[in-house]
Chains A and B, each alone.
Chain A
């Protein structure tokens, strides 16, 4: 079974249907890039996978577990917020606006999950957090508060914070869109190495270069529906659908 299986996912805000039946499978170790124009529903879909939004119809499984539900006696029971929180431990998320905790240092941001959520000992968590900082190239910034870091550095800390939970799946929602152009590379480098290490990733991005070199598969989303999917070579260099062609003409 694929790590992520989404079938017929629908989501409306008020009367506008934002997701109109999305089907998507992501295999273990696969990197999928979600492309599409603004307002297509990319963020909403990611948020549904992490149960930050509840879906109106369809189903999403992560590692065989139905997102937002507990199955018992052949029925699916909606989760309480506490139980939903437990489910989210396995899925890491990186936001466009970083969302680091401003009142804690880089190191404390990374330790927060393992210590407060998993209840692990501070000493071993600290050692792991320092190793994660090293991995994202910020070993010397352990004691810095987010306000003292550049956007690129903050985003790398945010990635480390998500990794500290040892997630099975990482979701990235336009992780470089809020960055100055010269800082985009350092974040993409971290994500590339993460992909090389076998992390399963769903990445919403406008960085076509990244999608081309790192993604195993590209999914193109317009108006809440998947219009084209395939390898980067197929979708990016030889798009079949007019909507894809139009979009790529603008972005490339």
Chain B
């Protein structure tokens, strides 16, 4: 008991000195200085800041925005569907399907997206018509618009990545889950839909969200085939008034808006499918 009281006394006498963090203050100050410097440089730069809001809401810019969104959503949506199919082939018992999936992923993941877009866009050079004998035939240059070429280039490349993401997700679900589903008489389709996919979502959603954000930015590659997405729209505007930086900044602002919205959406999706 006596020793107890003594420890108590000793502790009470001592003054506590909180740990000081001088480097936090110093590094913080450096960062603030750098940002202030950049801000000052921007205000000094020869940029007509007052013109940027006008370009931001310019009808051509808004058209580019709409096209960007449609292209990104369509390419990602198609890629998700294709990715699930290819992932299921990759995991299937049929060796032909498995090898097809491996080859598919190898090809569409292996080539640069820009190259794929250019190949699709120029398909008419080598195939005059796209046809299935006795079923239909259409001239290639009618079908292969800039939008379709960009959709194929972006979507097929992304579908190869989605196939790998979905496969990882499906494989992450414990075998016992499938067994339990079978044991209550579930068919393979119902098992996939009700048991495996919902649990795989936890693994699938985060990288898919990241990929979609990349997809939004990737649509800019469609500008090389004169598809009016944001960058091509910005170029259209600046080719008339030569305010190149101002229009690019307006486009940049739209990208940041889209990416921010996508990030928020991803956050809520992750919460909905997250661990309980």
Contact = CB atoms under 8 A, between A and B. Distances in A.
Contact of B180 (A91, A95, A116, A164): A95
Contact of A101 (B182, B188, B190, B195): B195
A34 interface: no
A2 to B, nearest CB: 22
B208 interface: no
A100 B180 contact: yes
B185 interface: yes
Contacts of A95: 176, 179-180, 183
A82 B194 CA distance: 16
Nearest to A164: B184
A92 B188 CA distance: 18
Interface in A71-126: 81-82, 85-89, 91-93, 95, 97, 99-103, 112-113, 116-118
A119 to B, nearest CB: 11
Given A101-B195, A103-B199, A117 B184 contact: yes
B185 A112 contact: no
A26 interface: no
A161 interface: yes
A85 B180 contact: no
- The main secondary structure of chain A at its interface with chain B is mixed
B184 A162 contact: yes
Contacts of B184: 88-89, 92, 112-113, 117, 161-162, 164-165
A145 interface: yes
A229 interface: no
Given A81-B188, A85-B187, A102-B276, A116 B194 contact: yes
A101 B190 CA distance: 14
B109 to A, nearest CB: 30
Contacts of B183: 50, 52, 88, 91-93, 95, 162
Interface string B175-204: 011011111111110100011001100000
A99 B185 contact: no
Interface in A38-54: 50, 52
Given A95-B176, A117-B190, A103 B198 contact: yes
A165 B202 CA distance: 29
B76 to A, nearest CB: 24
B201 to A, nearest CB: 9
Contacts of B199: 101-103
A95 B276 CA distance: 22
Contact of B185 (A52, A147, A165): A165
A101 B187 contact: no
B190 A116 contact: yes
B186 A101 contact: no
Contacts of B276: 102-103, 145, 147
A124 B183 CA distance: 22
B188 A116 contact: no
A89 B194 contact: no
A128 to B, nearest CB: 14
A88 B180 contact: no
Contact of A85 (B174, B185, B195): B185
Contacts of B177: 99, 101
A82 B190 CA distance: 10
Contacts of B181: 101
B176 A117 contact: no
Interface string A230-246: 00000000000000000
Top 9 closest pairs, chain A to chain B, by CB? A89-B185, A113-B184, A99-B180, A93-B183, A99-B176, A117-B185, A85-B187, A88-B185, A145-B276
Interface of B: 174, 176-177, 179-188, 190, 194-195, 198-199, 276
Given A81-B188, A99-B179, 20 more contacts: A52-B182, A52-B183, A85-B187, A85-B188, A88-B185, A93-B179, A93-B180, A93-B183, A95-B179, A99-B177, A100-B180, A101-B180, A103-B276, A116-B186, A116-B190, A117-B185, A117-B187, A162-B183, A164-B184, A165-B184
Interface of A: 50, 52, 81-82, 85-89, 91-93, 95, 97, 99-103, 112-113, 116-118, 145, 147, 158, 161-162, 164-165
